[in-house]
Amino acid sequence: SVHTRDQVDLPPPAIDNRLTVHSLWPEIDRISTEQIQAAFEGVGGDIGWQLFAEEGDMKMYRREVEVDGMVMDPLKAMHKVRGVSAREMCHYFFNPRYRYEWETTLETMTIVEEISSDAMVFHQTFKRIWPASQRDALFWSHVRSSSDYAYAVTNHSTTNVDYPANTGACIRLFVTVCLACRSTYPAGEQPTRDNVTTSIAYCSTVNPGGWAPAGVLRAVYKREYPKFLKRFTNYVVQQCRDKPLAM
């Protein structure tokens, strides 16, 4: 029926064997481990995270970083969502079947390689922002369970001979993104849609890959990141509404 979601589709609780024999595995494992650890760290301390957007349980921080005049501000967002699990959040973020339904910056998405049930390589082109050139990205994406009731998706730029950079209309951008989620429910109870809460940490660093006006870029960030996180989390809540909770 329309109310079932294939259990086989959900992120696997353990790393898929097909991934561990792939040439990208050492890099995927190292970067995912680093990103997940950093995502679960707080925003206090000396690193200098500045709050730039806040709405309900959602808080967004950034650090202003420029390299050779190019804006590469790291972003860190925290959110809390009730009624869905970390595994479900990561399922909808990782699985390309749903991407056009929540990702509003996309123009095209191509699956370059299906490595395993928990790793893929994507090529994406994004909507053009005037007056800059259109951007594209080529990145691997990996979903894993990081501890009890915690799942994370890491996306990181890579290369592929069939998808060379900067040969057509697009400038290749470079991205490192981590969506790390952890679910909790009251001690002594069974987890249900009514008592589960998922804490989300979303970290993103985008290197625009070529000149883009700093003012335009920071304005796009400010508008697009909150829009993305609200839209994506609402989408997952809607999708899960009538389905059994998958922890």
Q: Which residues bind ligand 18C (CB under 6 A)?
A: 99, 103, 105, 124, 126-127, 129, 132, 135, 137, 155, 173, 175, 177, 206, 208, 212, 216-217, 220-221, 224-225, 228
Nearest residue (beta carbon) to ligand 18C: 224
Three-state SS annotation for 40-102: HCCCCCCCCCEEEEEECCEEEEECCCEECCEECCCEEEEEEEECCCHHHHHHHHHCHHHHHHH
Q: Are 184 and 149 in contact (CB under 8 A)?
A: yes
Are the CB atoms for 204 and 74 separated by under 8 Å? yes
Smallest separation, CB 212 to ligand 18C (Å): 4
**Closer Cβ to ligand 18C, 77 or 240, answer by number:** 77
| Least distance in angstroms from the C-beta of 126 to ligand 18C | 4
Which of 7/130 has CB closer to ligand 18C?
A: 130
CB of 108 to ligand 18C, least distance (A): 11
Q: For residues 235 and 247, give the distance between their C-alpha atoms in angstroms, rounded to a whole number.
A: 18
Instruction: Work out how close the CB of 76 gets to ligand 18C at its nearest, in angstroms, rounded to a whole number.
Output: 13
Whichever of 17 and 130 has its CB closer to ligand 18C, that residue is 130
Contact 155/177 with Cβ under 8 angstroms? yes
Q: Which is nearer to ligand 18C, 132 or 246 (CB)?
A: 132
Contact 183, 200 (CB under 8 A): no
The residue among 150 and 203 lying less far from ligand 18C, judged by its C-beta, is 203
